[in-house]
Structure formats: structure tokens, C-alpha cells
Structure 1
Amino acid sequence: MSSHVAGRPRSWWSIAPFGAAVAAAALIGGLGVAGTSAEYRSLNQPAWAPPPWLFGPVWTVLYAMIALAGWLVWRRSGWTPALTAYAVQLVLNALWTPIFFGFGRYGLALVDIVVLWLAIGVTVLLFRPVSRLAAGLLLPYWAWVSFATALNAAIWLAN
């Protein structure tokens, strides 16, 4: 079996840039996270809002799935519009936490997360013909962002 697929290495090491890109998005978002647990608890929020401790484990799993999905598509097709959509949604993801917590701009954060939700949808649609598995890996992320969008809207309205 060849060690390359369409000129791209099949090695698991080739996932590293995708892990790095997702880690960068998480870190950029995380720059504004210090003290957010207390800030989150201080907000008027709906009864269905999750506890602050839940976000870290959920995002850790989701970020791993996001990295794997991008890598699977890249291995099959190289850099295409599908991966451009993937990059756009990562940037929007990275921007949300600083907007929401760093600047306290809940309405602007809602705009960002709605556009993020749309970008994830476009990414899923573009990934599906290339890799159904990759598209499927993004579905829990899309579901969580759907929930987070509702939570963002509820917090914006209540605060």
C-alpha cells in the first residue's frame, strides 16, 4: 500500500496541523477565559443553562472531532473550498469567547455564533461528498453550537 494518497502523506503525523489549528482556535478563545466561570455564574441565565465545569470536557471532545474531520477531508481532497469553510468556522469559533466574556458584548457574540452556526452547516455540506465520516464528526459540534446559540440569546435577553 502506498504511503501517499494523491500526493499527501497517509501518516498520522499529518493530522498535527489540524490539531494545531484547532488548538490555536481554542487558545485564542481561551485567552479571555480567565475568571469566566465566576462571570458566567453571575449572569442572569435560564434554568437549563449548564454548569461552568461542563464546558471544558465538552469542548475538549468536540475540538478533537473537529481536528479529525478536517484532516480526513484534507487527506482525500487537499485544500478545497470545504477546508476554506472549515477555516472560517474555526476563526468564528475563536472569536466568540473574547466577544462574549472579554468584551461582555452578548448581542455581538450572538451575531458571531449565528454566523458560526451557518458556517458549520456549510462545512458539513461541503465535507459530506468528500467524507461522510468527517461530516458526521461535525454534527455533535453543530448540535452543541445550536444549544450554545440558544443559551447566548437567552443570556443576552436576560442581561
Structure 2
Amino acid sequence: MTTYIPSITLPGVLFEHPAAAILLPVCAGTAIGFSTRPKETQDTYLALRQPPFRPPPRVFGPAWTVLYGCMGYSAYRAYMTGLHNIDGRIHALAMHGATLYTIQLGLNLIWMPLFFRFKRPIEATVDIVALTGIVGYLTYIWGQVDEVAGWALVPYLGWLSFATYLSAGTGYLNNWNFEGKERPQSEKPTDTKYVDEKP
């Protein structure tokens, strides 16, 4: 079992207020998305060989906004339920979950720069495998504290499982090397075909 580590855990105030809990991951995720230059990210995404069932780029923004919101709501529910619970075990689980939540948020936020900006598919895939495992454990931990908090993480866990498949599949299909994998500037900006799709 993990332990509560205050030095690496987000401050309690970010869990105690629903708006702060929900807006933190939404704003942090949005900031990371824009800092990795969305146009270049899309160009790289479209140029890479992709495994079956990959979604179009326009799906990711709305999907992640919803998932970040659910994640933040789960954090608020579990933390507040544990904070006000007289059962020491429930309180400890909520606090342990706060540390896990902070770690998973950090792992989540570094995936996009690893994959797209630094073009490190191996490291990005290791990151997302670790992230998925931690979120699975967090879902279990916070599900014992508050059932709603546990269920609120299920869509996120499902998406991460799918994203792990995409990350590993894309890495494998591109020989774990993304260097030079951008669409040529001469292509039309409205072209949304993947490199392995026929016109």
C-alpha cells in the first residue's frame, strides 16, 4: 500500500474546493496542450503510422476536458469524504489517494511533451503504462472511500487503457523513432489523412 507523502502531494486547498479540484487538471492539461504547439502536434500525429481504431485529432480536446473534469471531481469527493470520516482507515485511504493522484497528474502532464515535442515514444509508453497502473490503483483506493469518486475515474481509466494501446502501437509501427515524422509543409493544411491512409 502506498502512503501519504505531504511533500509530493498537492495542497489540501486544491482538493477541498470543487471548482479548484476540477479546474486544476482542466487548466493544467489545456496549458500543456497549447505549450506543445497544437498545429505541430497534429501534423506529427497525422504523419505517424497508426494502429487501427485511432481517433481523429479533433476528438482529443473535448475528450480530455471531460476526463480531466471527472478526475478533479473524483479528487474532491474522495478527499472531502475521507477528511470528514471518523473511520481512521477511510481517512488514511483518502490521504494515500491524494498522493497517488498528484503522482498520476504529473505522469499525465508529461506524456504529451514526451510523445510529441521530444519524440520519445519509448519513454512516453513507459510513462503511460505507469500512469494507467497508478490510476487503476487509485480507482480501487478511492472507490473504498467514496463509491462515486471511484466510478468517476472509470472513464479515465478506460481512456488510458486505449491510449496505452495507441502509444505502444504507434511506437511499434514507427520503429520507436519519430524523428523527421512530420507532414511536409507543401501539403495542404486542410489535409487530415494519416500517412498510412489512401487518398
TM (normalized to structure 2)?
0.70
Structure 2 match to 1:29: 32
Task: Give 1:37 deviation, angstroms.
Answer: 1.1
TM (normalized to structure 1)?
0.87
Mapping 1:139-154, distance limit 5 Å: 139-154=154-169
Q: Identity percentage over the alignment?
A: 34
Matched residue type, 1:54: V
Contact 1:117–1:146 (8 Å) recurs in 2:
yes
Structure 2 match to 1:128: 143
Mapping 1:9-158, distance limit 5 Å: 14-30=17-33, 31-34=35-38, 35-78=40-83, 80-158=95-173
Could you tell me how far apart the structure 1 residues matched to 2:167 and 2:111 are?
10
Contact 2:51–2:170 (8 Å) recurs in 1:
yes
Task: Give 1:75 deviation, angstroms.
Answer: 1.2
Task: Give 1:28 deviation, angstroms.
Answer: 4.8
Residue-pair matches, total: 149
Matched residue type, 2:32: G
The superposition leaves residues 20-63 of structure 1 with CA deviations (integer Å, 9 ceiling, x where unpaired) of: 43135304531214221111001011232111111111111111
The superposition leaves residues 94-143 of structure 1 with CA deviations (integer Å, 9 ceiling, x where unpaired) of: 01001001100011100000000011011111101111111001001000
Q: Which segments of 5 or more consecutive residues in structure 2 lack a partner in the other structure?
A: 1-11, 84-93, 175-199
Question: Is the deviation greater in 21-30 or in 137-146?
Answer: 21-30
Task: Give 1:88 deviation, angstroms.
Answer: 0.9
Runs of 4+ in structure 1 deviating by more than 6 angstroms, as ranges, are: none
Could you tell me how far apart the structure 2 residues matched to 1:117 and 1:28 are?
22
Matched residue type, 1:32: T
Could you tell me how far apart the structure 2 residues matched to 1:25 and 1:140 are?
19
Could you tell me how far apart the structure 2 residues matched to 1:95 and 1:46 are?
22
Contact 2:26–2:69 (8 Å) recurs in 1:
no
Could you tell me how far apart the structure 2 residues matched to 1:88 and 1:28 are?
18
Which structure has the larger Rg? 2
Question: Match of 2:49, SS?
Answer: coil
- CA distance change for structure 1 residues 88 and 152 in 2, over 3 Å: closer, same or farther? same
The superposition leaves residues 59-111 of structure 1 with CA deviations (integer Å, 9 ceiling, x where unpaired) of: 11111111100000111113600111111111110010010011000111000
Q: Which has the higher helix share?
A: 1
